[in-house]
Amino acid sequence: MNPESILSLQAPPGAEVLSEACALFSPGSELALVAKLRKRYDATLVTAAVTQASLRHRAAAKFGPADAARMYFTPDGLEQATRTTVGVHRAQRLASALPGASVVDLGCGIGGDLIAMARAGLLVTGVERDEATAEAARANLTTLGLPGTVITGEVEATDLTPYDAVFADPARRSEGRRLFDPNAYSPPWSFVTALLEGTACVKLAPGIPHEAVPEGVEAEWVSDAGEVKEAALWSGRLSSGVPRRATLLGLSSGVVTVTEAPEAEVGPVGRYIYEPDGAVIRAGLVTAVAEAVGGHLLDPRIAYVTGDTYAPTPLASTYEVLGEVPYKEKALRAWIRAEGIGTLEIKKRGIDVDPAQLRRKLTPKGPASATLIITRIGRDAVAYTCHRLP
């Protein structure tokens, strides 16, 4: 997509072509749809409209069907955009700390976070260097009836003095590959740490090491429906004063957050094993699960909690321990045959094994289902046969 194609789809006749393309689109229909529409419309408009219809279809999972059906996207912009549930959580936290504040979004992409912040009552300005992506962000604010400004320009050259707070989402991909070194981000890590000396929120990959977080900055790891989505660093007036936080979204019980890691004992496996949510693990708050379930750690270096009490918690998945088998392929295969297991879930921590590859080797066949938890206690590898509980 380019700026001209996005502009062309917002006014006649492009808007009509886009409307028809979206109404007729289904996955895999692109070539046939292009051929059909080109009989009546300009080829360039048709290509742009069908591309946009495809992007809107993909965007429904991230933005919801209602918003996605009206928004404009670029392929990279959609790929890099924040999921709505996470963006709304972040925007609400910003608005709670600084009601009605002016916020500049550095590297705003197609405007997903601008939308969430504007809906939370914040005064938003986006900065985006890619012209097509910036045009999509402008179109999205307009089509959703939200106030805000989008500037096409370089993030590093932006004057931040007019704004109460800064939000930034550094690019973490290069040539289609993920970047794991913060120093390779764009803008670079030095720019990010300078932002965090003021009032700012910076979205990062969840793998950011604890030691990389500047002193006095709160780090929040966020998961949505059990999937870890990001780490957010909060500074200045946006920090709550705790060093680390895990926030769990997408739960029937609502938003769950934990900030403290009490002391926990280490002991033998009990009747139940609890696997903490990924955000809890990333935040280093595993012992909060031990406190919640009245249990203890299997090993001080491994993120499994165990105990004899069934205490369902939104902080962790629960497994009932059925037995222990030697961590040897022959013994595991014998157990699978004896129990008639055909559906096998394999969980592992502290062990260098590929669960998918191990499952193929074990060739489970049968009507039963089970979970195999493979971990390490001290120097010993252990395997527990389990049943996943609600």
Indicate if the pLDDT at residue 216 is higher than 70. Answer: yes
Please indicate, yes or no, whether residues 207 and 93 belong to a single structural domain of this protein: yes
Indicate if the pLDDT at residue 388 is higher than 80. Answer: yes
Please indicate, yes or no, whether residues 86 and 29 belong to a single structural domain of this protein: no
In a domain, 8, yes or no: yes
pLDDT for res 242: 96
Report residue 176's pLDDT band, with 50, 70 and 90 as the boundaries. low
Mean pLDDT of 384-388: 97
Mean pLDDT of 314-320: 97
Mean pLDDT of 294-316: 97
Please indicate, yes or no, whether residues 218 and 115 belong to a single structural domain of this protein: yes
Indicate if the pLDDT at residue 358 is higher than 80. Answer: yes
State the chain's mean pLDDT as an integer.
Answer: 94
In a domain, 267, yes or no: no
Please indicate, yes or no, whether residues 112 and 56 belong to a single structural domain of this protein: no
Q: Are 303 and 309 in contact (CB under 8 A)?
A: no
Please indicate, yes or no, whether residues 88 and 45 belong to a single structural domain of this protein: no
In a domain, 361, yes or no: yes
pLDDT for res 174: 58
Q: Last residue of a domain, which of 70, 91, 106?
A: 70
Mean pLDDT of 226-249: 97
Indicate if the pLDDT at residue 175 is higher than 60. Answer: no
pLDDT for res 125: 98
Report residue 185's pLDDT band, with 50, 70 and 90 as the boundaries. confident
Indicate if the pLDDT at residue 55 is higher than 60. Answer: yes
What is the percent of the chain with per-residue pLDDT over 90, rounded to a whole number? 92
What residues does 318 pair with on adjacent strands?
274, 389
**Domains held by the chain: number:** 3
Q: Last residue of a domain, which of 29, 52, 70?
A: 70
> What is the rounded CA–CA span in Å between residue 286 and residue 308?
18
| CB proximity list for 153: less than 8 A, separation 6 or greater | 127, 128, 129
pLDDT for res 180: 65
Quick: pLDDT tens for 159-168: 999 999 999 9
pLDDT for res 298: 96
Report residue 118's pLDDT band, with 50, 70 and 90 as the boundaries. very high
Indicate if the pLDDT at residue 301 is higher than 90. Answer: yes
Quick: pLDDT tens for 130-156: 999 999 999 999 999 999 999 999 999
| Phi, psi (deg, nearest 5) at residue 290 | -60, -40
> What is the rounded CA–CA span in Å between residue 261 and residue 288?
5
Which domain, by its residues, includes 60?
3-70
Please indicate, yes or no, whether residues 27 and 139 belong to a single structural domain of this protein: no
Quick: pLDDT tens for 16-46: 999 999 999 999 999 999 999 999 999 999 9
Please indicate, yes or no, whether residues 367 and 295 belong to a single structural domain of this protein: yes
Q: Record the pTM.
A: 0.92
At position 132, the amino acid (one-letter code) is: A
CATH of the domain at 188: 3.40.50.150
CA nearest to 202, candidates 128, 106, 76: 106
Quick: pLDDT tens for 276-286: 999 999 999 99
> What is the rounded CA–CA span in Å between residue 192 and residue 232?
12
Please indicate, yes or no, whether residues 283 and 308 belong to a single structural domain of this protein: yes
pLDDT for res 177: 63
- Residues 17, 19, 23, 25: what is their CA dihedral angle, to the nearest 10 degrees? 50
Please indicate, yes or no, whether residues 148 and 59 belong to a single structural domain of this protein: no
pLDDT for res 179: 59
In a domain, 262, yes or no: no
Report residue 173's pLDDT band, with 50, 70 and 90 as the boundaries. low
Angstrom CA distances, 18 to 12, 22, 46, stand at 10, 6, 8
